Structure 1
Amino acid sequence: MSTVKFGILSTANIGKTQVIPAIQRSENAEAVAIASRNINNAKEVAAELSIEKTYGTYEELLEDQEIDAVYIPLPNSLHKEWIIKACENKKHVLCEKPIALNNQELEEIVSAANRHNVLLMEAFMYQFHPQHDKVKEIIASGEIGEVSLMRASFSFYLEDRSNIRLINELGGGSMYDVGCYTLHSIRNIFAQEPSSVFATETKRNGLDVDTTMSGVLTFADGKMGVFDSSFDSVHRQNYEVVGSIGTI
């Protein structure tokens, strides 16, 4: 089995605490390099996590011919730029969600990946969890009957107004940060795209991002998905699938 050699763009906490350790535990992947605009930050994380190479710019890492793929946990507003640059350097890409901020960005990203023949993936880890597989298995078995509705929620209270998640220019907002999980999970379970979407948002005083959003997805076969995300509510992270004779 060949080993995929990963380069990491930035020293973001999600990479340090979750993704890099996961790569290192894998039997077929290795984190070989990390880049930061502050080389000292890169060296500090590299020493902590036993990563061989460090770079003081993202461009230098992308030019490293040893690297097969990159993991991108940069601010949401920078995803498109660095995904496209990675594709141009023939690197496969694993990017933190949301992979793009709008449909136009997504089309440009997908076009770049196709043009340079590289793999592109958005980092929704939940879909590979055995628990999620079990949900699909139960639905397929008919145990809960005919599924007609799914509800998905993700929220936590965020007080620090300097947090990147509350900065509009960097792609902040509850929908981009955690609401994307609710939409993805509904579409994943139903295995189809919605025919219509309705959503409404609220913004905490003085902030220019949605701090709460809720809405409804409707599907061509009559199914409905109800979702909500929030930085104004207690921690919730769940979904419910409703069938004609049972729920999960």
Structure 2
Amino acid sequence: MTPIRWGVLGAANFALNHMAPAIHAAKGAAFTALATSSPAKAKPFKAFAPDLRVHDSYDALLADPEIDAVYIPLPNHLHVEWTIKALEAGKHVLCEKPIALSDADFDAMIAARDKAGKLAAEAFMIVHHPQFQRAQQLVQGGAIGDLKHVDAAFTFFNDDMDNIRNQADKGGGGLRDIGVYTFGSTRFVTGQEPDQIPYAKLRLENGVDTFAQVAADFSTFTYSAMVSIRMFNRQQVTFHGEKGVLELSCPFNANVFDQAELTLAVDGTTVTTERWPGVNHYVLQVENFCNSVRDGTDYPCPLEFSRGTQKMMDMVFAAGDK
């Protein structure tokens, strides 16, 4: 198998701690190049990938003919620009979430993708995890009867004003950082889109949402979510049906927050728990991306899926402004 050769734009901490090691570990992938003007920032990457080529600019990496795909972990407001530049340079693109800041941003990205004939996708890793694939199978297969309500929560504490999550001009805020998970996970598992957002309470600090409480109406179920970057760590998604309840106790940061676990309760007496210790959804994401590039296998999270999550987020921001 000829490996897909990857380059990473920028020496972000998330790339160092999660995605670059995942690319290095993934079957059919090769972590080949890094773009950074800082030799000091490149050093820890070369500690596990000693043959890594280091380019001193993003443009130089995109001009490298020995790079097939790029991973983009740049600040949110730069995602659309560099996704399009990478596509125009003939590279496949995996870009951190949120890949865009508005629904309208997707027009140019999809056009660039189609013109280049390359794969471009948001790094929405949870859909690659067997926990969510199993949840989708159970909910859409009727294991809990007709779905009536979904409840989601994702919180952590970050009041560092130097962090981009707390900077409005860089596309920060809790919804864009972690609301994509509470929204996107529900859409993925149920296969449905929201009809309306009857309630959205947003708490802003310096132009950044630090807390959001959201209610949504889907075609056959109701939805509620709470997201905050000023509260103690918590994450959970519950799918409540007429005949059972499905709960994901570590849905978003498997092996970091806790172990990925799914619990199904039906008939008031039967409880089944499934666990996936040690499964790395970042590695699975890279392997699925490479397979799609190599043989055209359908990718679980195309731009069209990510656009649906962004549309929901736009609806929430609009409702919160009322």
TM-score, scaled to structure 1: 0.93
Alignment of 1:75-224 (within 5 A): 75-198=75-198, 199-204=200-205, 207-219=206-218, 221-224=219-222
Name the amino acid aligned to 1:29.
A
Query: Partners of 1:231 and 1:21 in 2: how far apart?
Result: 26
The residue matched to 1:18 in structure 2 has which SS? helix
Deviation string 1:113-158 (CA, Å, 9 cap, x unpaired) is 1121111111111111111122123224433111121111111111
Query: Partners of 1:82 and 1:215 in 2: how far apart?
Result: 31
RMSD: 1.5
Query: Partners of 2:211 and 2:129 in 1: how far apart?
Result: 27
Query: Partners of 1:14 and 1:213 in 2: how far apart?
Result: 24
The residue matched to 1:203 in structure 2 has which SS? strand
Tell me, yes or no, if the aligned pair for 1:148 and 1:222 is still in contact at 8 Å.
yes
Query: Partners of 1:245 and 1:233 in 2: how far apart?
Result: 33
Query: Is the deviation greater in 140-149 or in 103-112?
Result: 140-149
Query: What's the offset of the Cα at 1:222?
Result: 2.5
1:5 equivalent in alignment to 2:33: no
Name the amino acid aligned to 1:43.
A
Query: Partners of 1:104 and 1:184 in 2: how far apart?
Result: 18
- Alpha-carbon distance change, 61 to 211 in structure 1, aligned in 2, over 3 angstroms: same
Question: What is residue 44 of structure 1 aligned with on the other side?
Answer: 43
Tell me, yes or no, if the aligned pair for 2:159 and 2:166 is still in contact at 8 Å.
no
Query: What's the offset of the Cα at 1:45?
Result: 3.6
- Alpha-carbon distance change, 109 to 123 in structure 1, aligned in 2, over 3 angstroms: same
Question: What is residue 72 of structure 1 aligned with on the other side?
Answer: 72
Query: Partners of 2:117 and 2:61 in 1: how far apart?
Result: 19
The residue matched to 1:121 in structure 2 has which SS? strand
The residue matched to 1:187 in structure 2 has which SS? helix
Name the amino acid aligned to 1:190.
T
Query: Partners of 1:103 and 1:157 in 2: how far apart?
Result: 28
Query: Partners of 2:183 and 2:155 in 1: how far apart?
Result: 14
- Alpha-carbon distance change, 22 to 161 in structure 1, aligned in 2, over 3 angstroms: same
Query: What's the offset of the Cα at 1:42?
Result: 4.9
Question: What is residue 236 of structure 2 aligned with on the other side?
Answer: 238
The residue matched to 1:131 in structure 2 has which SS? helix
Tell me, yes or no, if the aligned pair for 1:35 and 1:42 is still in contact at 8 Å.
no
Query: Partners of 2:186 and 2:212 in 1: how far apart?
Result: 16
Name the amino acid aligned to 2:30.
E
Query: Partners of 1:131 and 1:8 in 2: how far apart?
Result: 28
Tell me, yes or no, if the aligned pair for 2:139 and 2:189 is still in contact at 8 Å.
no
The residue matched to 2:154 in structure 1 has which SS? strand
Query: What's the offset of the Cα at 1:161?
Result: 2.0
The residue matched to 2:21 in structure 1 has which SS? helix
Tell me, yes or no, if the aligned pair for 2:148 and 2:222 is still in contact at 8 Å.
yes
Query: What's the offset of the Cα at 1:110?
Result: 1.5
Tell me, yes or no, if the aligned pair for 1:42 and 1:55 is still in contact at 8 Å.
no
Tell me, yes or no, if the aligned pair for 1:178 and 1:229 is still in contact at 8 Å.
yes
- Alpha-carbon distance change, 7 to 243 in structure 1, aligned in 2, over 3 angstroms: same
Tell me, yes or no, if the aligned pair for 2:215 and 2:223 is still in contact at 8 Å.
yes
Query: What's the offset of the Cα at 1:160?
Result: 1.5
The number of aligned residues is: 244
Alignment of 1:49-64 (within 5 A): 49-50=48-49, 51-64=51-64
Q: Where has structure 1 moved over 4 Å in runs of 4 or more?
A: none
- Alpha-carbon distance change, 60 to 105 in structure 1, aligned in 2, over 3 angstroms: same
Query: What's the offset of the Cα at 1:39?
Result: 3.4
Deviation string 1:53-112 (CA, Å, 9 cap, x unpaired) is 001100000011111100000000100110010010011110100000011212211211
Query: Is the deviation greater in 53-62 or in 110-119?
Result: 110-119
Name the amino acid aligned to 1:108.
A
Tell me, yes or no, if the aligned pair for 1:42 and 1:54 is still in contact at 8 Å.
no
